[in-house]
Amino acid sequence: MNDNLLNHLLREGITPSFSFPLDVCDFKGEGYKSGNRHTWPNTQQDLKKALSEYSPGRVVTIDGEKYKVQGLSFFNSPCRVNRARHIFKDGFSDENTNLKWYNRCTMQNCGFVENNLNEKSELTECPVCDTTGSVESGKWYRPEGFAPLVVPWDAHKDRAKPHTDPPGYRYEMRAQTVSRSDDDIQNSGGVKLPAPLSEVGEENLKLISLKDNDIVNKLPIADRNLLSSFGDRMKIRTSNASNEMESIDLIIINSGYNSSGYTVCPDCGRLELEARKLNPGHHRPYSPPRTREMNKDDPDFEDLDSQAASHCMGTRMSGNGLNSLFLGMTFKTDMILFTFDVDTPFNTDKRTILNNSLNDGVRAIKEALITEIQAVKKFMKMEIGGGLRKHNVTVDGETRTVFDIFLYDDVSGGAGLTTSLFDGEEGYRDFVEILKRVELRLSGSLCMGGKGCDKACVGCLLDFRNKREHDKLDRKNGLRILRYLLYGKVPTIETGNQNDTPHDELQNLANQLGGDLSQMNDYVVKANQDEGVIEITFNQENLKIRPISEMILPRMDEKVNEFLQVDFTPERMDMIQDFEDLWKSGGDPKELLEGKEMIHLSILKFYNERQKIASTINDLLSDLPF
């Protein structure tokens, strides 16, 4: 054996120590130098990071040399010539217990992952987003290590031999190096962010009380009220990795380039992004043993000896309706879950679950929480990870969808970081401070220039830690959702402002719309905000438009609700028009507006389809019906 016991125990996640990384993964090229077995490169990485850092197809730099990740490595394989065969000999069949099922919804922003790893999902409809046919199944393998290709080497010219040159019993067999000009080296796999496997058994998780307990009652009344209000809408639970009854498994999957998985050779473990690149007669991600190193008493000795001197003749692994492999792992760690209902005032239509504004806003809260927890608790950066999850719960016979923000210790086995947030009175005091700092961060006060960015910037949310989510963070919508969770304020255009009440954003929208309309005509079209409504004036006629959050029911918006409360009747409801209906109806917009006093449109539409809005309004202004 070329490995020691400690490395093996660490690799398997058996040795529990915060001082050592668990689930250790190798990246090594096993070849020959001067006729003797030699390994270079040879490095290790925590498997959670290795699934991304050593993603097949990626180029890594070690000791100044660039290597392309193109295969798997196996610890102490029973066959040193065909090292992958003991893992993949049964292909994708159900008899292959080395592979697990990965059943998930493929709809953007859904994130549903089924907890069943042993069987293919039979779901025809996603239970979270209700999309038909969106639940797909694949199989994944937990890698022990990764490797570059090992090729015959010309020691005199210090370069690889031609591809057609077989391994034979070359004096030199080295890991293949690459340059940045090589084809396709930038294409690599995509790693899904960790996701809790399911809500099964989560009733055993420890519930954190935010009101009416001995510790909370010792806090100042303002802090007690804040926690109580937050607790009215947010359920907090902790998962303890060391307690089987209070633990949740997280799963990480590298699903390959464009989520297509990897083509794998079942004999040597070579991986390719494209099936056409894996044909019989390829180099292995290791050098087979010399004749002198093989067991001559093995009845297959002659056959294996011949194979070792030749290219690998393995073909693409397939079966069970599958022909590509995912890579992944599950792990336990300490975790805290913040759960809230997607219920009124939010739009309870299942499409809201997939809404970018809602998802990007919750994701912004998650990132702000991680940043402020690390600052207040003085944790090191990168010690805490986090993510989002949606799942269904049934209460009193009624099924509804809930959102989880889950934060976890980013080390297998846990380190007690996230589960210590509410330890003693100091923990509760710190959490109040964390909530206040999260609101300040999302308010825009920390943004570049201090006036608040449009979505996210390095001042408020963007960090190396969340680089994969930079385009999925929305500070303003995060602030709107947070203020609902903290104070019960319905998300509106105003609650996304720095000080909650000014109409700066609304006036900015009015100015932009007025400018667009004026450019379409030879006269100035006035557009101003007045009491939360954009008023467009032309020839003594007024058109009132209210931008509302796309996350909520229109009638829950503050200004729409005020209008309805004057005289809440069906006739009053008929006096409100969704601006988007003017596009979808196919009828005459002027007829649709007959008798209407207010038009509403989502904030997102105002930003994304300004020209279309201006053009529609311009047509209406020529002959307003009211």
Q: Which two tokens stand for residue 544?
A: 């009132």
Q: How far is CA 507 from the centre of its chain?
A: 35
- 3-state DSSP: the chain helix, strand, coil percent, rounded to 5? 30, 25, 45
What 8-state DSSP symbol labels residue 239? E
Q: Which two tokens stand for residue 383?
A: 């010690």
Backbone angles phi and psi of 550, in degrees to 5: -70, -5
Number of Cβ within a 10 Å radius of residue 241: 25
Preceding omega of 266 cis (within 30 degrees of 0): no
15 has pLDDT over 70: no
The helix (H) or strand (E) run that includes residue 306 is: helix 301-308
42 has pLDDT over 90: yes
DSSP characters over 90-113: TTTSTT-TTEEEEEEE-STTT--B
Say how far apart CA 368 and CA 474 lie, in whole Å.
Answer: 11
- Range among 414-423, 558-567, 572-581 rated most confident: 414-423
Closest C-alpha among 552, 562, 566, 558 to residue 604: 552
Q: Which residues contact 583 (CB under 8 A, 6 or more apart)?
A: 612, 616
Q: Annotate 559-584 with b (16+ C-beta within 10 A) or e (fewer).
A: bbbebbeeeeeeeeeebbbebeebee
Q: Which two tokens stand for residue 197?
A: 């496997």
Distances (CA, A) of 601 to 547, 580, 583, 608: 5, 7, 12, 12
Query: 509, 608 in Cβ contact below 8 A?
Result: no
Query: 477, 500 in Cβ contact below 8 A?
Result: no
Residue 581: strand, helix, or coil: helix
- Contacts of 429-433 with C-beta under 8 Å, sequence gap 24+, read 429/219, 429/223, 430/376, 430/377, 431/227, 432/219, 432/223, 432/226, 432/227, 433/376
DSSP characters over 476-504: HHHHHHHHHHHH-PPP-TGGGSTTSS--H
Closest C-alpha among 141, 363, 333, 331 to residue 254: 141
290 has pLDDT over 70: yes
Average pLDDT over residues 395-403: 84
What 8-state DSSP symbol labels residue 310? S
Number of Cβ within a 10 Å radius of residue 12: 13
Residue 508: strand, helix, or coil: helix
Burial (CB count <10 Å: 0-12, 13-18, 19+), residue 329:
buried
Closest C-alpha among 274, 252, 268, 270 to residue 187: 274
Domain ranges in the chain are 22-193+251-329, 206-247+333-496, 504-621
What 8-state DSSP symbol labels residue 605? H
- Comparing 353 with 459, which gets the higher pLDDT? 459
What 8-state DSSP symbol labels residue 266? T
Q: Which two tokens stand for residue 481?
A: 């959702």
Looking at residue 153, its pLDDT comes to 83
118 has pLDDT over 50: yes
Query: 207, 272 in Cβ contact below 8 A?
Result: no
13 has pLDDT over 50: no
- Range among 340-349, 409-418, 479-488, 589-598 rated most confident: 479-488
Distances (CA, A) of 471 to 208, 253, 317, 352, 388: 33, 21, 36, 19, 15
Average pLDDT over residues 383-405: 88
490 has pLDDT over 50: yes
Say how far apart CA 534 and CA 511 lie, in whole Å.
Answer: 10
Say how far apart CA 30 and CA 269 lie, in whole Å.
Answer: 14
Query: 269, 285 in Cβ contact below 8 A?
Result: yes
Rounded to two decimals, the pTM is: 0.87
Say how far apart CA 90 and CA 48 lie, in whole Å.
Answer: 26
Q: Which two tokens stand for residue 590?
A: 């002027």
- Range among 19-23, 269-273, 521-525 rated most confident: 269-273
Say how far apart CA 514 and CA 528 lie, in whole Å.
Answer: 8
pLDDT digits (tens, 9 = 90+) for 544-570: 889 999 999 888 998 888 877 655 555
Residue with tokens 């058996």: 14
Query: 443, 416 in Cβ contact below 8 A?
Result: no
The helix (H) or strand (E) run that includes residue 48 is: helix 47-53
Count the alpha carbons within 13 Å of 141 in the hemisphere toward its beta carbon: 27
pLDDT digits (tens, 9 = 90+) for 425-478: 999 999 999 999 999 999 999 998 878 898 999 999 999 889 989 999 999 999
Amino acid sitting at position 561: N
Backbone angles phi and psi of 301, in degrees to 5: -55, -50
Q: For the chain, what is the mean pLDDT? A: 86
Closest C-alpha among 570, 575, 582, 571 to residue 560: 575
Average pLDDT over residues 44-54: 92
pLDDT band at residue 300 under the 50/70/90 scheme = confident
Distances (CA, A) of 553 to 177, 348, 602: 58, 8, 11
